[in-house]
Amino acid sequence: MNVNEPLAYRMCPKTLEEYVGQEHVLGKDKLLYRTIKADRLSSLILWGPPGCGKTSLAKIISNTTKYKFTRLNAVTSGVQEIKKAIEEAQNSLLNPSGKCILFIDEIHRFNKLQQDALLPFVEDGTVILIGATTENPYFEVNKALISRSMVVKLEPLTTKDIYKILKNSLESENGLKNYNIKIEDSTLEKIAVVSNGDVRTALNGLEVAVLTTKMSEDGYIHITDEIIAESINKRKAVFDKNGDSHYDNISAFIKSMRGSDPDATIFYLARALQGGEDPVFLARRIVIASTEDVGMANPNALVVATSAMQAVNMIGMPEARIILSQAATYVATSPKSNATYLGINKALEDVNTKDTGEIPMHIRNAPADGMEDLGYGVGYKYPHDFPGHFVEQQYLPDKMLGTKYYDFK
């Protein structure tokens, strides 16, 4: 065991049998499991959050494949490194198969030129590409590469999965077996919960706890809940405000307000704030929901939401969280109507696609002398001159008569 290597690195699985989690794609009856076992891989994009096992899976493939395996990191590599890997793959003396598996970590960091450099060799089979990314590949990876690859979505590891890996690390020669550690199962479970699906965070936290705790007189290193709390500090941020999960969380926040669920609304608001989301951005989302989803069912929602946005701008965090919570729950608990939203969309579509005719002459403006002689404003009935401040008269153009845009339900 090389103690200079981090515990998370030492505990990387070397075979599929050692791999923990991702049963939805790596169960023994699943296609990905069978193709790795048979060494019949096609190009592959592994997409998932940090610490879910993307790199570990690539290492397992490198241990099982008969093809030359080359690893690049998109942060430190460029077109030259890609060309070198391909030249080595095509060298019949060094690589009789003429193929290689090229693993590119953080492939989303490659620009279009770098990704395009891969495409011809993925197409002709010289390169079997394995890309790993924390970002949505459908947004960040060349569509031509996507179309030639199997996209595999890896999920955050479950608390049960991480607990199992932590337990293994305490019993493994490559792990912490030689440290004489005493730790309760309940404490291991707390590490698994706090790590939020990231096994690297869990293992790093456990290792820090062990290496910074003195051995007791009984010859054991006792790891308590308090020591773990100091080693990990707080639950890992629930999402990266710049990543794909930003869009997922905001979508859930908006849909919870629309769906009249104040508890879910506050929950997703908390996730956003914990992840470092801009409070003003969140306030703008609330303003939009107040008119798009509440609308005329409670016009005051727009007033509350707009006031909240101004208050958030003036006050800032951490107090802005209270203002956001009040405005979001007000929108969530208000009656809902999207009548004005549907109405303006339908009207815009008609204006853009139809011959809607001319504005009736009697409601046109006649600011200059002589225009009335041409019919401008002639025959207009001023509603306030009539009982109830209302009088029947035509407002829509002749070609649009009978069209209904506002249908309050």
Which residues sit opposite 152 in a β-bridge? 46
Determine the topology of domain 22-153 in CATH. Rossmann fold (3.40.50)
Q: What is the mean pLDDT of residues 310-314?
A: 93
- Count the Cβ atoms, other than its own, within 10 Å of residue 136: 17
| Domain layout of the chain by residue ranges | 22-153, 159-232, 244-333, 342-400
Indicate if the pLDDT at residue 98 is higher than 80.
no
pLDDT given at position 240: 57
Same topology, domains 244-333 and 342-400? Answer is no
State the average pLDDT over residues 369-398: 90
Domain 244-333 has CATH 3.30.2130.10: no
SS3 131: strand
Reading the block at residue 344, the tokens are: 């303006």
- Looking at residue 234, what is its pLDDT? 52
The answer to whether 164 touches 195, Cβ cutoff 8 Å, is no
Backbone dihedral region of 392: left (phi > 0), alpha (psi from -120 to 50 degrees) or beta?
A: beta
Percent of the chain with pLDDT over 90: 39
What is the C-alpha to C-alpha distance for residues 231 and 24, in angstroms, rounded to an integer? 32
Q: Provide the 3-class DSSP secondary structure of residue 150.
A: strand
**What topology is assigned to 342-400 in CATH?**
post-AAA+ oligomerization domain-like (1.10.3710)
Instruction: Report the range of poorest mean pLDDT among 74-83, 178-187, 386-395.
Output: 74-83
Lowest mean pLDDT among 166-180, 310-324, 366-380: 366-380
Comparing 96-100, 300-304, 331-335, the range with the smallest average pLDDT is 96-100
The predicted-structure confidence for 34-44, as pLDDT tens digits, reads as follows 988 888 888 89
Buried b vs exposed e over 315-346: b needs ≥16 C-beta within 10 Å? Answer: eeeeebeebbbebbbbbbebebbbbbebbeee
Per DSSP, what are the bridge partners of residue 128? 101
* Average pLDDT value for the chain: 88
CATH architecture of the domain with range 159-232 = Orthogonal Bundle (1.10)
Residue 3 has pLDDT above 90, yes or no: no
Please compute the mean of the pLDDT values over residues 307-313 and round it to a whole number: 94
- Residue 371 confidence (pLDDT) above 90: no
